[in-house]
Amino acid sequence: MDSIIFTTLAAAPGAGAPAWISVLPLVAIFIIFYFLLIRPQQKRMKDHQDKIAGVKRGDQVVTGGGLMGKVTKVDDDYVELDLGGGTKVKAVKSTLGDIVPPGGKAAND
């Protein structure tokens, strides 16, 4: 079995080797990239979207810009954050980076 693989790989192009053998490494690389890079990234993105879609009033969040505040109002596309000291800002919901668990610290602290 191994000798068949080695003789196939050692064969010069055009020496009777099937054309699909030359495409096989590219297919293998794509499969490896899919399972090691693309699929996990899609899963993380879906989990993040689900987490952001579930934001509710009273949650403590961190925005993509690093602002940390408490959610006071939730719309379809926007959230209103209380940053403390009576400062309220309106942020686009998709820019929220993380939801901080109650009594916890932000992931980047």
Mean model confidence pLDDT for the chain: 85
Quote the pLDDT of residue 8.
Answer: 57
Q: Does 61 lie in the same domain as 32?
A: no
In tens, the pLDDT along 20-70 reads 888 899 999 999 999 999 999 999 999 999 999 999 999 999 999 999 999
Provide mean pLDDT across the span 3-8. 59
Number of domains in the chain: 2
Q: Does 84 lie in the same domain as 64?
A: yes
Quote the pLDDT of residue 20.
Answer: 82
Q: Does 60 lie in the same domain as 46?
A: no
Q: Indicate whether 94 belongs to any domain.
A: yes
Q: Can you tell me the distance from the alpha carbon of 63 to that of 89, in angstroms, rounded to the nearest whole number?
A: 11
pLDDT above 70: residue 10: no
Q: Does 66 lie in the same domain as 41?
A: no
Q: Does 64 lie in the same domain as 40?
A: no
Q: Does 39 lie in the same domain as 8?
A: yes
Cβ proximity of 63 and 75 under 8 Å:
no
Quote the pLDDT of residue 73.
Answer: 94
Give me 74's structure tokens. Answer: 């939730």
DSSP assignment of the chain: -HHHHHHHHHSPTTSS--THHHHHHHHHHHHHHIIIIIHHHHHHHHHHHHHHHT--TT-EEEETTS-EEEEEEE-SSEEEEEEETTEEEEEEGGGEEEEEPTT---TT-
Q: Does 47 lie in the same domain as 64?
A: no
Quote the pLDDT of residue 38.
Answer: 93
If one counts every other C-beta atom within 10 angstroms of the C-beta of residue 91, the result is 18
For residue 72, give the CATH number of its domain: 2.30.30
Q: Does 31 lie in the same domain as 10?
A: yes
Find the domain containing 41 and state its range: 2-51
Torsion region of 85: left, alpha or beta (phi above 0 gives left; psi -120 to 50 gives alpha)? left
